[in-house]
Chains A and B, each alone.
Chain A
Amino acid sequence: MRTVTLTLKAEPPVSAEAEQLIPDVVAGKTAEEVRRLPLLVGNRRETVGDWFDVVVDEAEAAAPDLLLRGDLVRFKRLGEGMSRGAMVVEGRVGFHAGARMSGGSLTIAGDAGDFLGAHMAGGRIIVRGDAGHYVAAAYRGEKTGMKGGTIVVTGSVGQMVGARMRRGLVYVQGDAGDVAGYNMKGGTVVVGGAPAARVGARMVRGTVAVLGGEPLELLPTFSYACTYAPTFWRVVHHELARVGHAPRVGPGVTFRRYCGDVNEGGRGEVLAAQPG
């Protein structure tokens, strides 16, 4: 098992675009080759070696393929488009982390910026911290956001989590900002705490499950349907437990189910976990 370890030397004064820093690209490269990879810093084309100490060494089997250390809050597009391997960032990351990724795992020990996992198609993202707006969302003008995979955020997220998502699972252990599940077309968003205003606005299909329970500020275009213990929650619970983040409410919990958004056909649902 080889691990490529990049340690940030100094924080750049402007944003950098680091879409080259994924396991797919660094796999099989020597330290010198990794140093020569391009890095767009501001409007200047620089290299990875200009900003990172690069070490390639043999490590135990559990070690990641790519390990980044340092406060990378100015680095955008980390893990973008990765399709395999394990990538770990020990520190904060900027916008678009894990966007368009299709496989592998991205673990961020720190906060993530906006558009985390946007247009994600597969794989797994774990954020031990908060994430910004538009987690798992579609980019501006696009019709569908996340299409597969799993995202877990142990903290809270900003607005529009899951906007226009089509498939996949997003679990926010903390709270979610306004309009969680905006215009969802499928998939599941689980909010461990409480969502802010207008949850599920323009939902076409899909599920927003709120574990923090009621009261929910629901739009008038959602209507109460029933109280039940859905089988699919057991599946979701099992999957989250498998990735090491089992929700504290159990697999057999009952939910109040609200259908909406009626303006879009009313086939989406917002579930509110019931105490007990």
Chain B
Amino acid sequence: MLRVTNGRVHDPGNAVAGEVRDVWLDGGKVVAEPAAEPADVATLDAAGCVVFPGGVELHSHVAGSKVNAGRIMCPEDHVDHYRCRTDVTRAGCGHTVPTTYLTGYEYARLGYTTLFEAAVPPLTARHAHEELRDIPILDTGCYTVMGNNHLVMKVLSDPDEERRAARLRDLVAWLLHATRAYAVKIVNPGGVESWKWHGGPVDLDTSVPPYGVTPRRILTGLAAAADELGLPHPVHVHLNHLGVPGNVAVTLASMQALAGRRAHFTHLQFHSYEATRSGSYASGAPAVAESINQHPEFTCDVGQLVFGPATTMTSDAPMEFRLHHLHKDKWANSDIEMESGAGVVPMRYSPRQLVNAVQWCVGLELMLLIRDPWRVFLTTDHPNAGPFVAYPMIVRLLMDREFRREWLEKLNPRVRRFTTLHELDREYTLDEIATVTRAGQARVLGLADKGHLGVGADADVAVYREQGDRERMFAAPAWVVKGGEVVVRDGEVVAAVDGRPLGVDLGDPPPLAADLAEQFESYSSVRLANYAVEDAYVPDQVLIPCAP
């Protein structure tokens, strides 16, 4: 039994806002305070500390083929960033794309205990699970990309609305089960497939070859299927036109199309740009934040830009192609058969670059203008907008408007003409930080045992020493506890326990429909029998119930 005592507990899920109280942990769970002092209790004296639930990361790129491509093509990311092994940790390297083990250690060192890989095409799911298993300490899961999948689009091309919905629901269940994934991911719906046919960028109602379905139908169809299956996490949407000035129009139209359904919009910062008269970037954050404010059924994460090196990697292959043509530097591309695409391009964001400065402001504007912290989450779309190790600095930017002002001074001065960040005075409270980094994420993921410290919750706890400089405070937790074991002490990993894989309980989903199976066998590079990820790749997967 472990007791965390004397700390000020911030547990927004249970409306505990900085009260000094004890947290008792036993058998991997939070337990009620025992009536009598037990004999075998270890105590962490958290006087002068704040006690948070373990951090929950709902959108990051940490495992699978595109992440590995990023590692292979960026040796410069390793040369000055390596960790020697210690008695408890393995060696690792990489700053924007760390190796698997280092990824786990670095997340744990910030107080995170749960982690989701945000984009896995079915064909590479086995690889993604292998890497997720290598990531120590954190419980992990992944989302399956479906927004450009031929089988999905074929089903969606059925004119019979009812049959279409029923067949799509079965297909989504089958795909999730085959990939042992946690949620449905949509990336640039229809846009990746259109690019493969030499088509241009798609709008919501552009008909996409070869099945003639529109992004609107893909979005609404998959959102409905996720709802009807009762998946714990709603559709996780990367919208069309990522990174393009003026994309706020398609962002708002997509939100309109999904109104009334649960949906999570990811890295909204990349989707919230107005176009200036000369076609350059201006902030569209106020309009997008207003839309989120008005739709309680929506959640989002921000994808905050971090100045310095980054590695962009996404299934949005046409976007990466465009990015590559910006600098003409290295670029990896992958055509994932009938499922998706993928691209990788290293980047460096600079505060003097007007575009980057606008992007940086847009992310913070969204965080400050969206009023409900339960519906906007802190991410950097790691490593696309920057590496996750920058979280403590972003927390400080949110909590400290003077620090924000100092940073605004360092940006390209023209940024004030195109953004409103300098007008925003809001400062996040510790409770709000606890919400946007764990409680809110756990809730939208449907993880009832995570993101809070109520009795029955997983014994995942992060304890930070209170100090005025919030960046330093959140960069080195006094303790991090995972599953009841102390894994980090004073910002260093002291035990590398194993995390558990997370999945959804779909029961026994129906087999793939005969016509789809035939299509699969005719055009795929693998046989259907070898397609699904076997149990051995996700041993003891924790299955979260669906609520259809």
Binding site for B on A (CB under 8 A): 139-143
Assess whether A140 is in contact with B75, with CB atoms less than 8 Å apart: yes
Fill in one digit per residue for B65-77: 1 if any A CB lies within 8 Å of its CB, else 0.
Answer: 0000000011111
Q: Is B79 an interface residue (CB 8 A)?
A: yes
**Secondary structure class of chain A's binding surface, majority of residues:** loop
Assess whether B329 is in contact with A141, with CB atoms less than 8 Å apart: no
Assess whether B329 is in contact with A139, with CB atoms less than 8 Å apart: no
Alpha-carbon separation in the docked complex, A142 to B73 (Å): 11
Q: B329 contacts which chain A residues (CB < 8 A)?
A: 143
Alpha-carbon separation in the docked complex, A143 to B79 (Å): 14
Binding site for A on B (CB under 8 A): 73-77, 79, 329-330
Most central of A139, A140, A141, A142 by chain B CB within 10 Å = A141
Q: A142 contacts which chain B residues (CB < 8 A)?
A: 76
Q: A141 contacts which chain B residues (CB < 8 A)?
A: 73-77, 330
Alpha-carbon separation in the docked complex, A142 to B76 (Å): 6
Alpha-carbon separation in the docked complex, A141 to B74 (Å): 6
Alpha-carbon separation in the docked complex, A195 to B52 (Å): 64
Q: B75 contacts which chain A residues (CB < 8 A)?
A: 139-141
Q: B79 contacts which chain A residues (CB < 8 A)?
A: 139-140
Select from chain A the residue with minimum beta-carbon distance to B327.
A143
Q: What are 14 A-B contacts defined by CB distance under 8 Å?
A: A139-B75, A139-B76, A139-B79, A140-B75, A140-B76, A140-B79, A141-B73, A141-B74, A141-B75, A141-B76, A141-B77, A141-B330, A142-B76, A143-B329
Q: A143 contacts which chain B residues (CB < 8 A)?
A: 329
Q: A139 contacts which chain B residues (CB < 8 A)?
A: 75-76, 79
Separation in Å of the A94 CB from the closest CB of chain B? 17
Alpha-carbon separation in the docked complex, A93 to B412 (Å): 46
Alpha-carbon separation in the docked complex, A139 to B76 (Å): 7
Alpha-carbon separation in the docked complex, A140 to B76 (Å): 6
Q: A140 contacts which chain B residues (CB < 8 A)?
A: 75-76, 79
Alpha-carbon separation in the docked complex, A126 to B340 (Å): 54
Alpha-carbon separation in the docked complex, A143 to B73 (Å): 13
Alpha-carbon separation in the docked complex, A202 to B413 (Å): 37
Alpha-carbon separation in the docked complex, A143 to B74 (Å): 11
Alpha-carbon separation in the docked complex, A195 to B12 (Å): 69
Using A140-B76, A141-B73 as known contacts, list a sample of 12 further A-B pairs with CB atoms less than 8 Å apart, ordered by residue number in A.
A139-B75, A139-B76, A139-B79, A140-B75, A140-B79, A141-B74, A141-B75, A141-B76, A141-B77, A141-B330, A142-B76, A143-B329
Alpha-carbon separation in the docked complex, A90 to B77 (Å): 35
Alpha-carbon separation in the docked complex, A94 to B75 (Å): 21
Q: B76 contacts which chain A residues (CB < 8 A)?
A: 139-142
Alpha-carbon separation in the docked complex, A140 to B75 (Å): 6
Separation in Å of the A17 CB from the closest CB of chain B? 12
Alpha-carbon separation in the docked complex, A141 to B81 (Å): 14
Alpha-carbon separation in the docked complex, A139 to B74 (Å): 11
Alpha-carbon separation in the docked complex, A64 to B76 (Å): 34
Alpha-carbon separation in the docked complex, A139 to B79 (Å): 9
Alpha-carbon separation in the docked complex, A92 to B77 (Å): 30
Select from chain B the residue with minimum beta-carbon distance to A139.
B79
Separation in Å of the B464 CB from the closest CB of chain A? 32
Separation in Å of the A77 CB from the closest CB of chain B? 12
Separation in Å of the B232 CB from the closest CB of chain A? 40
**9 smallest beta-carbon distances between A and B, as pairs:** A141-B76, A140-B75, A141-B75, A142-B76, A141-B74, A139-B79, A139-B76, A140-B76, A143-B329
Alpha-carbon separation in the docked complex, A141 to B330 (Å): 9
